[in-house]
Structure 1
């Protein structure tokens, strides 16, 4: 994975050594980020020539393949997303029980951020990566495959590859079924960005339950978000501004549900008297809101354990049954939903 030269040939460490008039081992030592940074004229010359030639150190060959560190890299979109923070904590606990250290990196939902996160973790010589930021338009998974970095997907899954996930279709179905069973037929939906498989699958579950019931889905009452509280509030304001009434709302995450409840309160709508609300993930805050939130509980500890087991098998080159481990969510009813009177 070393940089290609202008003629299409990959620039190697030997090319840098020849141009600088030093040995290959000298170049390797000077360009090794793990060693003390030398400011000698010779070191500065080597770095300048490496930059001019377009050389990039192969962190995969010189890092992961040199030995085990008992360190696991975890990549999530944001730690301000409470569900992702809870998941990382679950990974950290599961790693600790196995005598490993979990290290987190974030992508901020950007493909370039994902590639940067992978490179930074590999430079720190993690033994493998748990990738919880998979997205439809992200080339990073293909890049990981080509690089032979041990990795597994978690929480989201686009295409193939070993993965530990929740049953998001079932979760979306059960959340919507709960509202339908309470007598609601006009139900709004807050979903996530199109690139997130978990959001799309929860929406699929919503549609399945609505179609099964024969309940109409109003396109105006389907609001896309970027998973933030503010985007959820904005989506609910747009629905209400359009004059489309609804008696219930299903949000694809608890953070979205919290944003929805805030917007409803600002518009004089009471939860659950005027609008019943169901969230997803059952983050710790959900039970402690002024109106405790009904939510789909995701078994993060189980998913974390499954992800680590799959990753350890890949690191050890062992075959393991069930390349995709799917965990079942469960509904936790609370005060934010009520039966239609």
Structure 2
């Protein structure tokens, strides 16, 4: 079902029209940095603003802000390694232009995003880089309406300027790797449907499976969050199925680590009983007891693209509004050919699992 559009945002043009003054007068009267005026026109402006429900906010002030060399970066949480790594890359990209990046978190809660954006804009940042975008994101829509320079990074809403990886290709590469090893019963821990990254990686998975002649995959796709706990919970259910898969592609490395934990709990050896592929290639992936096969995302390139797109908006030189970089499959120890036909795939005793995760 399509959601009903919310009420139209009241702008300073609406206030100016009702008060019978110019937009610059409205901007000056409602700017709390200026001494309050008691002139008749100022009174009309305040009355019009109250009648229309207009509230001056950080979005509008962004249009009047002078260059400060500071970029605001919005992330769901810094405890997520991907977000921490990406912010560090943005900070480096800003430093190369003698700029500075500051970060704020939202815990991936939409209701917190608008307030966090306003807080960053009150710090007089030149623009915003948001990794929190959801499909049909109202915050991105409001930023566009107010003309605030911003770039969506890692995720996109397919409208605002964005810097991302080719997630559809990455999902395809991960699944193709498992198919090339001989797997056919491949489950997907798919991530949340509101995130473009998860949607695109699932599309890549489905394309690879279709090319292999496997058309019925809905029963193999399991929605999750991006966290380890969710990956483990979903994988426990997947592995409890009597016709459990021989391989799992997880939407990111965190959920893949959760899958590894679930495999250990089920008494399965990785990769002898179950192959696992993650996504992002966070630093820990190569250092796990069973090194994780994953898809490497060039976060440094995405960060550089995001900063460049933001600079182009500020200077009025915006070219191609969407930058997409290519991911790379990194095969490691967590994937192998599936168990031979006819060999029982049951529980093993812990001492019989040479590649099991530590307790």
Counterpart residue number, 1:41: none
CA contact under 8 A between 2:58 and 2:119: conserved in structure 1?
no
Counterpart residue number, 1:308: 307
**Partners of 1:172 and 1:156 in 2: CA distance:** 15
**Partners of 1:200 and 1:62 in 2: CA distance:** 35
1:253 correspondence with 2:262: no
**Partners of 1:297 and 1:256 in 2: CA distance:** 15
Counterpart residue number, 1:287: 286
| CA displacement at 1:25 relative to structure 2 | 3.2
Q: Please give the per-residue CA displacement for 1:272-292, whole angstroms capped at 9, x wherever unaligned.
A: 110010100000010111110
User: Aligned runs of 1:1-341 on 2, under 5 Å?
Assistant: 1=11, 25-27=34-36, 56-63=55-62, 65-215=64-214, 217-320=216-319, 322-340=320-338, 341=340
Aligned residue for 1:272, secondary structure, equals coil
Segments of structure 1 that go 5 or more residues without pairing to the other structure are: 18-22, 29-49
Go from structure 1 to structure 2 and tell me whether the alpha carbon gap of 1:64 and 1:122 turns closer, same or farther (over 3 Å shift).
Answer: farther
**Partners of 1:86 and 1:230 in 2: CA distance:** 21
Q: TM-score, normalised by structure 1?
A: 0.84
Aligned residue for 1:319, secondary structure, equals coil
**Partners of 1:248 and 1:135 in 2: CA distance:** 29
Segments of structure 2 that go 5 or more residues without pairing to the other structure are: 1-10, 38-48, 341-359
Q: Please give the per-residue CA displacement for 1:139-182, whole angstroms capped at 9, x wherever unaligned.
A: 01110011110011111111322211111111000000000001
CA contact under 8 A between 1:130 and 1:151: conserved in structure 2?
yes
**Partners of 1:207 and 1:141 in 2: CA distance:** 29
Q: Please give the per-residue CA displacement for 1:52-73, whole angstroms capped at 9, x wherever unaligned.
A: x977443344455231110001
Go from structure 1 to structure 2 and tell me whether the alpha carbon gap of 1:218 and 1:13 turns closer, same or farther (over 3 Å shift).
Answer: closer
CA contact under 8 A between 1:189 and 1:223: conserved in structure 2?
yes
| CA displacement at 1:117 relative to structure 2 | 1.7
Give the total of aligned pairs: 312
Q: Please give the per-residue CA displacement for 1:203-223, whole angstroms capped at 9, x wherever unaligned.
A: 000000001001354434321
